[in-house]
Amino acid sequence: MSADVGSAVISLAEELREILGEDAVLQGADTVQYHVDASEGRGLRAEPDLVVRPADTYAVAAVMRACYEHEVPLTPRGGGTGLVGGSLAFGGGVVLDLALLNEVFEVRPEAWRMTVGAGLRTDHVRRLGRESGLYFPPDPGAAEASQIGGNIATDAGGPHAFKYGTTGSWVLGLEVVVPPGKVISVGGRNRKDVAGYNLTDLFVGSEGTLGIITACTLRLIPYPESRVAVVAGYEDAARGCAALEEVLISGLVPAAVEYLDQGAVEASRAAYPGSLDPRTRFLLIAEFDGSEADVAASAPVLEEALSPAVQLDARASVSEQDDLWRWRDSVTGAVAALLGGKLSVDVSVPAERFAEALSTSRDFAEQAGLRLCGWGHAGDANLHSTFVFDPSEEGALDAAERCADRLLARVVEMGGSIAAEHGIGWAKRGRLGLQLDDGSLEINRGLKQQLDPRGLLNPGKKE
């Protein structure tokens, strides 16, 4: 902290205590939980000068106004489940915790819609829909801890994004606080709206760098009547990829098609709900949902497409499916527990290059002498190629970072994306130019300059 920022923070802290109340402003030891997020395994930590916990939109706006006046950086934080350090305050400043903005403003089952605060947890959103017979499909891995505002700010994906799209596909409107502290509404409650530029989508995935999302109106659909999940085990990735291709040309639209490579299978084998054939070194999970009749007709087609496999395990009951998805959600934790360190590279490639992206990840890990665990959303050709290391081993993190950079560069050569669903955050800072052409990069920077001219909102992210 420079002397200038230091004195600015002292007077800012006083001002914020007056605006928000004593208890809503944390400093020193009270802020430790905000020094890390789910990117801790890749060695990211940052200490904010202050943490604030505003209770409503107007308090968020007041915090932003004060930060702008004092020229102090402001980093919004949802559930802290991000994997690229997007909610950490590198360089200090204020972290704004959105957890208290968790109000449910309106649930309108007949209109397939709800309006809720940004701090509401994702599983709560899903449960609210379910209670009204409706479905909110986005299911990012950490649904119990992540918040809907953070999911929107990162356009979080998840397994069911294959059929249903990422979180942004379900956003009708947003309330956003933009610098220097103005509350705006973009989109609304309408299912169709082409007035003005699509500012709603501008904030979706903007990673808290253009404004702070405080509330959202979400679209829902009727809950699918039935579903079947099929787990298929293969002896190697090549056989698994051949089966994936069969699924994609089968004429079905599966809700989800997931993969686990050999490393991910080994890391999570012990916790699998059921038994995994010992020959399984590559796993696909395909789910189909719809009416009972559709599911009954499609299940055999799906199984046929996934065959031949060393293991084929069709799960028709809700409890078996819940167990399976819970296990699938635990993969990232199982991989983190292997050696303590993990650097997960979230990328996507054009669908026809999925197998090549898998083998490239394997080759690069092998050449670097690192262990690879890869899993993710095969239908979307979205890989989480994760390099696992022991953080106490000298040079291991550096080796993983070099390997990650190599993979990002190769993915771009393949026409892919360096950030499919986990964002750019801090972990991939400076890499945007790898993928975006000069013209697009200039527009990106122009938008940032227009909305946040002093560059105080989540600085260093999404660049």
User: Interface residues with ligand LAC (CB under 6 A)?
Assistant: 141, 331-332, 376, 384
CB of 107 to ligand LAC, least distance (A): 27
Q: Which is nearer to ligand LAC, 20 or 388 (CB)?
A: 388
Q: Is residue 375 within 8 Å of residue 313, measured between CB atoms?
A: no
CB of 332 to ligand LAC, least distance (A): 4
Q: For 417-454, b where at least 16 C-beta lie within 10 A, e where not — what string?
A: bbbbbbbbbbbbbebbeebeeeeeeeebeeebeebbee
Q: Which is nearer to ligand LAC, 93 or 374 (CB)?
A: 374
Angstrom distance (rounded) from CA 419 to CA 432 = 9
CB of 321 to ligand LAC, least distance (A): 17
Residue 337 C-alpha from the chain's centroid? 20
Q: Which is nearer to ligand LAC, 68 or 375 (CB)?
A: 375
CB of 359 to ligand LAC, least distance (A): 20
User: Which tokens belong to 66?
Assistant: 């004060």
- Count Cβ atoms below 10 Å from residue 144 Cβ, excluding itself: 12
Q: Which is nearer to ligand LAC, 281 or 384 (CB)?
A: 384
Q: Which is nearer to ligand LAC, 38 or 46 (CB)?
A: 38
- Count Cβ atoms below 10 Å from residue 222 Cβ, excluding itself: 12
Q: Which is nearer to ligand LAC, 157 or 459 (CB)?
A: 157
Helix count (H) and strand count (E) of the chain?
15, 18
**Which of helix, strand or coil describes residue 115?**
strand
Angstrom distance (rounded) from CA 325 to CA 227 = 13
What is the DSSP-derived secondary structure letter of residue 37? -
CB of 331 to ligand LAC, least distance (A): 6
**Residue 266 CB burial class (10 angstroms; 0-12, 13-18, ≥19):** middle
**Residue 369 CB burial class (10 angstroms; 0-12, 13-18, ≥19):** exposed
Q: Which is nearer to ligand LAC, 90 or 259 (CB)?
A: 259
CB of 328 to ligand LAC, least distance (A): 7
Q: Which residues contact 243 (CB under 8 A, 6 or more apart)?
A: 232, 234, 284, 305, 306, 307, 309
Output the residue with the shortest Cβ distance to ligand LAC: 141
Q: Which is nearer to ligand LAC, 42 or 384 (CB)?
A: 384
CB of 39 to ligand LAC, least distance (A): 11
CB of 140 to ligand LAC, least distance (A): 6
CB of 100 to ligand LAC, least distance (A): 26
CB of 142 to ligand LAC, least distance (A): 8
Peptide bond preceding 350 in cis form (omega within 30 of 0)? no
Amino acid in position 69 = E
Angstrom distance (rounded) from CA 371 to CA 369 = 7
Q: Which is nearer to ligand LAC, 94 or 345 (CB)?
A: 345
Angstrom distance (rounded) from CA 43 to CA 341 = 8
Q: Which is nearer to ligand LAC, 26 or 142 (CB)?
A: 142
State the DSSP H helix or E strand holding residue 299, giving kind and residue range, or none if neither: helix 292-306
